[in-house]
Amino acid sequence: MDSDFTNMTVGIIGLGLIGGSYARGLRKLRVKHLIGIDVDETALQQALSEKVIDEACTTGSEALQQAEILIFCLPDQVMVRFIRDNVRYFHPQVVLTDVSGIKGHTAEQIQPLLSAGMDFISGHPMAGREGKGFSQSDAAIFDKANYILVPHKENHREHIELIRQLALALGCRHIAEVTPQEHDRMIAYTSSLPHVLATALVNSRSMNDMTKYFIAGSFRDGTRVADINGPLWTKLFMQNKQNLLEEINRFQESLDLFRQYLKEGDEQGMEQYLDEAAVRRRELVYENHSR
């Protein structure tokens, strides 16, 4: 399949923050035709009025037959249901991809629903921002972002490469390929746990009317993702419950160690603990910006 996106028709199902950001990014890539599908007619009208999309639908329809790529920005089981109900409309060689934060066995549910020639390449852009909805969407969220591909044995290599090239064209810098199990285990640590910590910070009994006068960079950065889509993240947390519980336990062990140093007045232990964190953080930032 040709990866010249200017000659392609792309459909985006779900025009929220991520779907809208894809649409804006694809508009910059000058795709031939962009179809947006969402039950939210206000979002569709805004996208049309801003010329972010060329065609709008509130449900699956024959319009989908035009799309060579379909990007699903929906909760996984809603996506599975949409595919089951609308696969009859899909282009015979369509490549489907998603943005789901938890992979589980979703690909195994989807692939049997597809006709020969269709392919589902599971993906996860490590991109986002505060808030929700199309009004918060921004193509810049993909700039220098990481992108995770989660292929399975039935995928065609050229289709995996197509989604890789799409991610790069949108501005993503680092692309990794992992199994669903590896993805969900790592996401529990790098994404879910930070959201739990941020919400725990702002839900602390220490938060009061005076807090806003004592906020500087560390608190602002540490609580940024506490502006969270509650229904969405509740589902994500529950879907990956065992991995997240394991990461909470590991974090608790690390926090208990710090508490021990503090309680016992162990300055040497605390200093080593902090120095190790500083080294790990510098190595992480260096690695992320040097590849």
Strand 119-126 relative to strand 146-150: parallel, antiparallel, unpaired? antiparallel
Length of the chain: 291
Nearest alpha carbon to residue 171 among 45, 25, 42? 25
pLDDT digits (tens, 9 = 90+) for 22-55: 999 999 999 999 999 999 999 999 999 999 999 9
Distance between CA atoms of residues 208 and 168, nearest Å: 44
Q: Return the percentage of the chain with pLDDT > 70, whole number.
A: 97
- The answer regarding whether domain 183-290 maps to CATH 1.25.40.10 reads no
Strands laid side by side in the 95-98 sheet: 55-57, 33-37, 9-13, 69-72, 95-98, 119-126, 146-150, 174-177
Instruction: DSSP letter for 115, please.
Output: P
The answer to whether 34 touches 12, Cβ cutoff 8 Å, is yes
Measure Cα distances from 60 to 86, 88, 131 in Å.
6, 10, 27
Task: Copy the structure tokens of residue 28.
Answer: 């910059």
Dump pLDDT digits (tens) for 138-195.
999 999 999 999 999 889 999 999 999 999 999 999 999 999 999 999 999 999 999 9
For helices 41-49 and 17-28, the axis angle rounded to 10 degrees is: 20
CA 288 to chain centre: 18
> Nearest 5°: phi and psi at 59?
-145, 170
Return the closest-CA partner of residue 49 out of 141, 142, 134.
134
> What is the band of 287 on the pLDDT scale with cuts at 50, 70, 90?
low
Question: pLDDT digit string (tens) for 194-221?
Answer: 999 999 999 999 999 999 999 999 999 9
CA distance 68 to 79: 17
> How confident is the model at residue 284, as a pLDDT?
86
3 pLDDT more than 80? no
- Residue 115: its pLDDT value, please? 94
pTM of the predicted model as reported, rounded to 2 decimal places = 0.86
**228-282 residue pLDDT tens:** 889 889 999 999 999 999 999 999 999 999 999 999 999 999 999 999 999 999 9
> What are the extents of the domains in the chain?
5-177, 183-290
Q: In this structure, what is the dihedral angle of CA atoms 230, 236, 237, 239, given to the nearest 10 degrees? A: 140
5-177 classified as CATH 3.40.50.720: yes
Which of these, 58, 49, 53, lies nearest to 25 by C-alpha position? 53
Residue 252 CB: number of other CB atoms within 10 A?
Answer: 11
Write down the number of H helices and E strands in the chain: 11, 8
Residue 291, pLDDT score: 45
Largest CA distance in the chain: 69
Rounded CA separation 139/129 (Å) = 11
Mean pLDDT of the chain: 94
